Amino acid sequence: MAFLAESLNRVKPSATMAVVQKARDIAATGRSVISLGAGEPDFDTPDNIKNAAIEAIKRGETKYTPVPGIVPLREAIVKKFKRENNLDYTAAQVIVGTGGKQILYNAFAATMNPGDEVIIPAPYWVSYPEMVAINGGEPVIVGTTLENGFKLTAKDLEAAITPKTKWLLLNSPSNPSGAAYTHAEIKALTDVLLKHEHVWVLTDDMYEHLTFGDFKFATPVEVEPKLKDRTLTMNGVSKAYAMTGWRIGYAAGPLPLIKAMDMIQGQQTSGACSIAQWAAVEALNGPQDFLKTSKKAFEERRDLVVSMLNQAKGLTCPVPEGAFYVYPSCAGLIGKKTPGGKTIESDVDFVNELLEAEGVAVVQGSAFGLGPNFRVSYATSNKVLEEACQRIQRFCASLT
């Protein structure tokens, strides 16, 4: 009899973590490696947030917290949803988790029965289908195109819905593509969902504050309030406030679902870190100047990377609306040969050979369900990005 659970056979390891580790291993040999694989802002957490955490420690806020989060944080989240998204929730309809990842996982754990389907547009964050699968559900992957800006269309959503569909998972701005849905694009999707009352919406709004130019962020319930009773709106402080290691995510939704997630979390981890929660209170209630500063820096980096990658032979890099990723196509290089005679037959070959030849670590698009592409995280300095893009250009030019 096998000791490990059969459900593990349905799950793959994280490709992004694998790339980051491979880059570390090569760097440990003394080679120069630029890793553009991690989805993490390079800015430090703002001082006012760090100071709030220090003060919380001094006050002795070091005990267990309520499972769904401390009341001041849940109240801050209620205010945030009203202030920024025009959404009305009570503190009882809010749950705080150890990062957005736990929120998503617990939502699936609370709702999935064997055979239930979750519609996931591709490219997708690598953990989505694995979370569905490990909870007994079936990921239904719906491909998007570069021409459509890597966004799900109403027509494709309609075609993917079956009597077994339980959730649509919508991530905007997107990891890995940076694509963000306009108000009109979300309205087209919500119009479809209104016709299918058994389908719920799970939004991943983690990159809400990282949109560029004149783009205006919108979330599904804001666009279509009639969906409020079957939508879980997830967000967090990780990306917006450079608080990845603090591990605070949160969501608001219908009370019965929040209570079910609370019960699961109570048997799993209980409340999130007390100190991190008090820091998150300050992040949401305190000065928001940091958002403008980081947004401006990321927009400059986006423009730099898109420009330089589009100058590389065989690459096509669209301009994303948000997040801190670009998702260029390397279709123009499939079938080419490296100077050593290796044929580039896939995006996996492309990223492996790029790492070997030039010491630049990126993640293959096939890991996100759509290739031949690769993801570049530009959450690092302009100087590092320039050097990385020059190396990518050099590698592409070497292929014949």
Q: Is the pLDDT of residue 122 over 80?
A: yes
Q: Are strands 325-326 and 374-377 parallel, antiparallel or unpaired?
A: antiparallel
Q: Say if residues 37 and 20 touch (Cβ distance below 8 Å).
A: yes
| Calpha distance 100→233 (Å, rounded) | 11
Single-letter residue type at 351: V
SS3 assignment for 26-67: HHCCCCCCEECCCCCCCCCCCHHHHHHHHHHHHCCCCCCCCC
pLDDT score recorded for residue 103: 98
Phi/psi at 209 (5° precision): -85, 5
Q: What is the mean pLDDT of residues 297-324?
A: 98
Question: Percentage of the chain with pLDDT > 90?
Answer: 92
The fraction of the chain above a pLDDT of 70, given in percent, is 100
Residue 325 phi/psi, 5° resolution?
A: -135, 150
Q: What is the pLDDT of residue 56?
A: 98
Kindly report which listed range (4-13, 130-139, 166-175, 361-370) carries the lowest average pLDDT score: 4-13
Q: In which band, very low, low, confident or very high, does the pLDDT at 313 lie, cut at 50, 70 and 90?
A: very high
Measured CA to CA, the distance from residue 298 to residue 280 in angstroms comes to 22
Residue 368 near residue 328, CB atoms below 8 Å: no
**Quick one: pLDDT at residue 14?**
77
Name the pLDDT band for 383 (thresholds 50, 70, 90): very high
- The whole-number pLDDT of residue 227 equals 98
How far is 154 from 157, CA to CA, in rounded Å?
A: 5
Long-range contacts of 346-349 (CB under 8 A, 24+ apart): 346/371, 346/372, 347/371, 347/372, 347/373, 347/374
- The pLDDT value recorded for residue 100 is 97
At 63, the pLDDT band (50, 70, 90 cuts) reads very high
As a three-state string, the secondary structure of 102-140 is HHHHHHHHHHCCCCCEEEEEECCCCHHHHHHHHCCCEEE
Whole-number mean pLDDT of the chain? 96
H helix or E strand, kind and range, residue 87: none
pLDDT at 17: 76
| pLDDT at 1 exceeding the cut of 80 | no
Distances (CA, A) of 307 to 41, 318, 389: 21, 10, 10
CA 11, 16, 22, 25 dihedral sign is negative
User: What confidence tens digit (pLDDT) does each residue in 5-35 have?
Assistant: 888 888 888 777 777 788 888 889 999 999 9
DSSP H helices, 150-288, are 154-160, 183-194, 220-223, 255-266, 274-285
Pairing assessment for the beta strands 325-326 and 138-143 based on DSSP bridges: unpaired
Tell me whether residue 28 is exposed, middle or buried, using C-beta atoms within 10 angstroms of its C-beta: 0 to 12, 13 to 18, 19 or more: exposed
Please say whether the beta carbons of 352 and 366 come within 8 A: no
> What confidence tens digit (pLDDT) does each residue in 349-380 have?
999 999 999 999 999 999 999 999 999 999 99
The yes-or-no verdict on residue 134 having pLDDT over 80 is: yes
Specify the amino acid at residue 231.
Answer: T
Q: Give residue 369's identity as a one-letter amino acid code.
A: G
Query: Which residues make beta-bridge pairs with 373?
Result: 329
Residue 95, SS3 per DSSP: strand
pLDDT, position 10: 82
Closest C-alpha to 258, from 273, 118, 266:
266
Name the residue type at position 213.
G
- Reference 201, options 268, 263, 152; nearest CA is 152
The answer to which of 36-50, 202-216, 270-284, 320-334 has the lowest mean pLDDT is 36-50
Span 84-107, pLDDT tens digits = 999 999 999 999 999 999 999 999
Q: Which domains does the chain have, with CATH numbers?
A: 6-44+290-398 (3.90.1150.10), 62-285 (3.40.640.10)
What pLDDT, on the 0 to 100 scale, is given for residue 8?
85
Do 104 and 81 touch, CB atoms closer than 8 A?
A: no
Does residue 259 register a pLDDT over 80? Answer: yes
Whether pLDDT at 115 is above 80: yes
Angular region, 313: left φ>0, alpha ψ -120 to 50, beta rest: beta
- pLDDT value of position 113: 97
In this predicted structure, what is the pLDDT of residue 13? 80
Residue 175: partners with Cβ closer than 8 Å, 6 or more residues away: 39, 125, 206, 207, 323, 325
